[in-house]
Amino acid sequence: MINKQRAFLKWAGGKYTLSDVIRKMLPKGSCLIEPFAGAGSIFLNTDYSNYILNDINKDLINLYKTLQVKPEQFINDAARLFMPEYNISEEYYEIRKQFNATDDPYQRSLMFLYMNRHGYNGLCRYNSKGGYNVPFGKYKRPYFPENELINFADKAQKAEFVCENYRDTFARAKDGDVIYCDPPYVPLSKTASFTSYAGNGFGLDEQADLANAAEEITAEKNVTVLISNHDTIWTRKIYEHASKIKSVKVARTISQKGTNRKKVGELLALYKPQT
């Protein structure tokens, strides 16, 4: 039994609460591949020999790579940004401005963590020009996730981090590997299509193509694929060729007020090897 580990980032759609259910559905394998790594809750709460973690958000992957190779330096430097003097709107907007102006990977990784914990509701969002534009969060005392950072950095020694298209990540799979996909979810309403955290949308065409990718690789290789999404008529249609479908109710975690966190249906589609 794994002691459950929390991600060090706040993340819309994070899989901490679902990690037990997902872990039980994932088979054993030599490597777990995640084309949509997000905050890494499944990575942290599974036990594979190796991992390949991909995300289209280059700032996220840059942060993970930095923490992987410079854990002590990064944690010490990041802690300074969690002093009370940095928890005011003027400092937040100045750091956000510096983040959008620099290409330095180390500085961007520090500021990305700072903004994730000090910004509004843990959102990650960019404008059309690629500028980070999440407003200040006004928290009394933002939490510095030191233990979570240490745990992630330790486990990251078993991982390879990449930033590419999900199809390219699928192509890395070898016989005996397992793929877990947590794509941006199908919106439950026309006003809920928050898919811009990496600056580019993940529309219905991509959703259907991801299901096709799962069908294709399980027909060609000894690879198992698990996909999570909202439980809708449309997702049940695109996952109709899955070997197994499981529906669970999960509390939403993005609403700032706990009273607004309604339970919604989530779907887990498991594709087993056809070979």
Q: For residue 162, which amino acid is it? A: V
Q: State residue 264's pLDDT score.
A: 82
- Between strands 178-181 and 31-34, the pairing is parallel
Per-residue pLDDT band at 174 (split at 50, 70, 90): very high
Q: State residue 101's pLDDT score.
A: 98
Q: What are the sequence ranges of the domains in the chain?
A: 19-57+163-271, 70-147
261 or 103, greater pLDDT? 103
Per-residue pLDDT band at 193 (split at 50, 70, 90): very low
Domains 19-57+163-271 and 70-147 agree in fold: no
Q: State residue 198's pLDDT score.
A: 46
The rounded mean pLDDT for the chain is: 92
For domain 19-57+163-271, say whether CATH 3.40.50.150 is its number.
Answer: yes
Per-residue pLDDT band at 196 (split at 50, 70, 90): very low
Low-confidence winner among 44-48, 101-105, 125-129, 174-178 (lowest mean pLDDT): 125-129
* CA-based nearest residue to 48, from 27, 62, 73, 76: 27
What is the per-residue pLDDT across 45-75, written as a single tens digit (0 to 9) for each?
999 999 999 999 999 999 999 999 999 999 9
What is the per-residue pLDDT across 143-168, written as a single tens digit (0 to 9) for each?
999 999 999 999 999 999 999 999 99
pTM of the shown model: 0.92
Half-sphere exposure of residue 151: CA atoms within 13 angstroms, side-chain side:
17
- Three-state DSSP at 98 gives helix
Q: State residue 200's pLDDT score.
A: 53
* 192 torsion bin: left (phi>0), alpha (psi -120 to 50), beta (else): alpha
Q: Is the distance from CB of 41 to CB of 15 less than 8 angstroms?
A: yes
Q: What's the fold here for domain 70-147? A: Adenine-specific Methyltransferase; domain 2 (1.10.1020)
Per-residue pLDDT band at 261 (split at 50, 70, 90): low
Low-confidence winner among 94-98, 122-126, 217-221 (lowest mean pLDDT): 122-126
